[in-house]
Amino acid sequence: MKADSLQQPADVYSQSKSAICPEDSHLTLCPDCDLVIREVVDSDPARKLIICCPRCNRNLREYHPEGLIKSLSWVITGLLLFLPANIFPVLVMEILDHQEASTIWDGVMALYREGLQGVALLVFVLAILVPGMRLLILLFVMGAIFQEQRFQKWAKRFARHLFRRYVQLGEWGMVEIYLLGILVAVIKLADMAMVQPGAGLLCFAGLMAAELGISICMDEQEVWEHLEESRQLEESRQLEESRQLEESRQLEESHENVSC
Amino acid sequence: MKTYPADAQHWINGSDAGLKLCLDCHKVCAEQTERCPRCGARVHQRRQNSIARSWALTLTAALLYIPANLLPMMTVSKFEEGQPQTIFSGVIELVNHGMVPIALLVFTASVVVPLLKLLGMVWLLICVRFPGAAMHRQQTLYRVIVWIGRWSMLDIFIISLLVGLVQFGQLGTVTAGIGAYAFASVVVTTMLAAMQFDPRLLWDAAEVKKL
């Protein structure tokens, strides 16, 4: 562990039950063992922070300094690489004078033609659709955080909804596994023919690096906190507005009464 | 391996304190909340019907594991001759070609991991029923199962790549077999089974036993 990082087992909530209130923002539950935990957060934002459950050792959050802006840059990198990774061939193969290049999409289509439509759909979803969707969702969510004023209320709600989907899709994006699959395929084919990596393979490896960067830099809890903050701001503003409306109406009514 | 400390008495579970956790955004909610105010997900004290769903998916996967290993995954033919390969015969062929590390990798990802995942899920589901003291070990096992589950897709991706790439007519073709369907289903159902399982039930069960 690096010197500037801090691994801190979260404090256990040891007070009496009656003092526990769900509004307390430092209070969390361990998602794996349901322990009530009070996060004693080191307030220095320049330090890396890992909080884990004292009972089952689950990582509750991993805070990186400047994590959000770093992950935004990774998201943009990933989106830039996404298109070439899918357009350019990942592998090029040569037998005698025949040459065959294959993109990820070609593999999906080939499976489809052979009557394995379900498997083709699965490969498409896991290797192309979910990774792309996740990057797009993150771009939108980051936009809602960094350009808060420009986003309408419905857009912010949509951002929360999307980020929830992002969390749920976590397991189903399999870029790194596909990459390993490419490597195994190359070795398998090596004695059969000349196999060369295509430009798509490089972009695909970059895409994997971007996903890794996002998973390292982005603290999901931090994103949720930002989204929650803007929601509460919006709510209090709405409350204020409705109160002003009520006041002005009462004022008008009293005026009317006087004029009568 | 961590041991259960003796001063564990003052540890309070969320269910005792009247709190629920939203599993999507990890917001702490009061007991009467139905939908998470932050992300809109339904909030439950524990996952709904976790054990029954998990059992059902695990057994489905166990049944599918049989055709996945018996049916041919793909056929590699050179000069129009070639035998359909199952997972296992594909591994054997890799060994015969002297590619032992790759053979080991494919063997681990396609045979060992799904089998261990199935056995692990069954073991966890039995542990919930008959609680012991080894929650930490069970928790670790659950995390390993969740983490490792996705890597079994490796074989499916390899087939997809080979089928798309090797289309040289007489010189050599690769065609996918029906076993790929069964195998992909095994991977997906075991992943779903692991997701449906609620590890908090392990801790609940241990608590009940202690009382």
Weakly modelled stretches of chain B, pLDDT under 70? 1-10, 209-211
Window 127-166 of A, Cβ < 8 Å to B: 127, 160-161, 163-164
Interface contact B160-A119, CB threshold 8 A: yes
pLDDT over 50 at A234, yes or no: yes
A104 near A90, Cβ under 8 Å?
yes
Q: What's the pLDDT at B210? A: 66
> What does the pLDDT average to over A93-122?
87
Strands B19-21 and B28-30: antiparallel
- Asked if A194 has any chain B CB less than 8 Å from its own CB, the reply is no
Position A165 scores a pLDDT of: 92
Cβ pairs bridging A and B (under 8 Å): 208
Please tell me the distance from the alpha carbon of residue B75 to that of residue B177, in angstroms, as a whole number: 7
Q: How far does B164 lie from chain A, in Å, by closest CA?
A: 4
Q: What is the pLDDT of residue A22?
A: 62
Q: How many CA atoms lie within 13 A of B142 on its CB side?
A: 28
Q: Is A102 on the interface with B (CB under 8 A)?
A: yes
Confidence of residue A76 (pLDDT cuts 50, 70, 90): very high
Distance between CA atoms of B102 and A257, rounded to whole angstroms? Answer: 89
Task: Look up tokens 């077999």; give the residue.
Answer: B177
pLDDT at A12: 54
Burial class for A89, CB neighbours closer than 10 Å (0-12, 13-18, 19+): buried
Cβ of A95 within 8 Å of Cβ of B23? The answer is: no
Q: What is the CA radius of gyration of chain B?
A: 22
Query: pLDDT tens across A142-167, in order?
Result: 998 888 888 888 888 899 999 999 99
Contacts of A161 in chain B (CB under 8 A): 39-40
Rounded Cα gap, residues A244 and A153, in angstroms: 20
Structure-token match 């999901």, residue found: A220
Q: Which of A56, A117, A177 to mutate to test the interface with B (most CBs of B within 10 A)?
A: A56
Q: Closest Cα to residue A156, out of A172, A140, A169, A171?
A: A140
Put simply, the answer to whether A231 touches B38 (Cβ < 8 Å) is: yes
pLDDT at A7 over 80: no
| Residue A179 in this model has a pLDDT that exceeds 70 | yes
pLDDT recorded at residue B211 = 62
In this prediction, residue B118 carries a pLDDT of 94
pLDDT of residue B167: 80
Yes or no: say if B82 and B75 are a contact pair by the CB < 8 Å rule.
Answer: yes
3-state secondary structure (DSSP) of residue B5 = coil
Taking an 8 Å cut-off on Cβ atoms, the answer to whether B161 and A107 are in contact is yes
Average pLDDT of the residues in A194-220: 91
Using CB atoms within 10 Å of the CB of residue B149, give its burial: 0 to 12 exposed, 13 to 18 middle, 19+ buried.
Answer: buried
In this predicted structure, the answer to whether residue A11 has a pLDDT above a threshold of 70 is no
How much is the CA Rg of chain A, to the nearest whole Å?
Answer: 26
Contact A33 B200 (CB under 8 A): yes
Nearest CA distance, A125 vs chain B (angstrom): 12
Give B67→chain A minimum CA distance, Å: 15
Q: Are A12 and A60 in contact (CB under 8 A)?
A: no
Contacts of B143 in chain A (CB under 8 A): 58
Residue of B nearest to A128 (CA): B157
User: What pLDDT, on the 0 to 100 scale, is given for residue A18?
Assistant: 43
Mean pLDDT of A131-135: 94
